[in-house]
């Protein structure tokens, strides 16, 4: 049966290029044909089957498939990113230290990560000299990057690398100096 909107008042197919299916053999044909190019049967507008729904369904299936693939990729990426962020946060919360100074005067520098702040302090062995130097806001943004708001100058991205046994951490750029990078250790 032909879609009514494609047929004029005289029962003739409109001049638009429209795809149909031959009622005799199932061949795709256009409205410009008076006879089926495959089986040769004379085409009657009442017996033609409008075929645009078939094409639309194919396009919809392709679009739906693409949407499903993109959705799966986005969800998978979000899950992986969440796991990596959680793992980095656990590593940071373990406490990081380094020893600065010369042979006779060692100073223990400490980075103490909490949920959203980093305390940077020095410990000398004399409580009255021990000092907290700064507190920085931070956010974990990926499996190897944090954003730090140092001294209120805006957020800066710092790359974090660990050695294989996660006892050494490299920060690039350095958090506590103007150096390109700095190393922190776990001395447990």
Full-model pTM:
0.59
Look up residue 87 and give its DSSP letter. H
> What integer pLDDT is reported at residue 55 of this predicted model?
56
Which residues, other chains included, contact 142 with Cβ-Cβ below 8 Å and sequence gap of 6+? 81, 84, 85, 88
Q: Is the pLDDT confidence value at 38 over 70?
A: yes
The residue ranking higher by pLDDT, 155 or 7, is 155
Q: Is the pLDDT confidence value at 9 over 70?
A: no
Q: Would you kindly state where each structural domain of the chain is located, as residue ranges?
A: 93-185
Nearest-angstrom CA–CA distance, 68 and 60: 12
CA angle 105, 109, 114 (to 5 degrees): 160
Nearest-angstrom CA–CA distance, 9 and 164: 80
| Mean pLDDT, residues 6-23 | 57
| Mean pLDDT, residues 117-137 | 86
| Mean pLDDT, residues 14-28 | 67
Q: Calculate what percentage of the chain has a pLDDT beyond 90.
A: 44
What pLDDT, in 10s, does the model give residues 48-74?
A: 555 555 556 678 889 999 999 999 999
């Amino acid at each position: 049966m032909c879609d009514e909107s494609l047929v004029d008042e005289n029962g003739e197919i409109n001049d638009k290029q429209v795809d149909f299916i031959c009622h005799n053999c199932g061949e795709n044909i256009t409205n410009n044909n008076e006879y089926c190019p495959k089986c040769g049967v004379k085409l009657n507008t009442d017996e033609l089957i409008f075929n645009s729904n078939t094409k639309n369904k194919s396009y919809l299936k392709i679009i739906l498939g693409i949407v499903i693939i993109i959705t799966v990729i986005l969800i998978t990426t979000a899950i992986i990113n969440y796991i990596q962020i959680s793992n980095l946060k656990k590593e940071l919360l373990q406490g990081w230290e380094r020893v600065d100074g010369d042979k006779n005067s060692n100073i223990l520098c400490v980075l103490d990560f909490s949920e959203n702040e980093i305390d940077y302090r020095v410990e000398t062995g004399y409580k009255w000299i021990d000092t907290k130097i700064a507190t920085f806001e931070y956010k974990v943004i990926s499996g190897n990057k944090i954003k730090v708001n140092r001294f209120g100058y805006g957020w800066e991205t710092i790359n974090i690398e660990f050695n294989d046994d996660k006892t050494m951490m490299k920060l690039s750029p350095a958090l506590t100096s103007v150096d390109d990078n700095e190393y922190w250790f776990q001395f447990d």
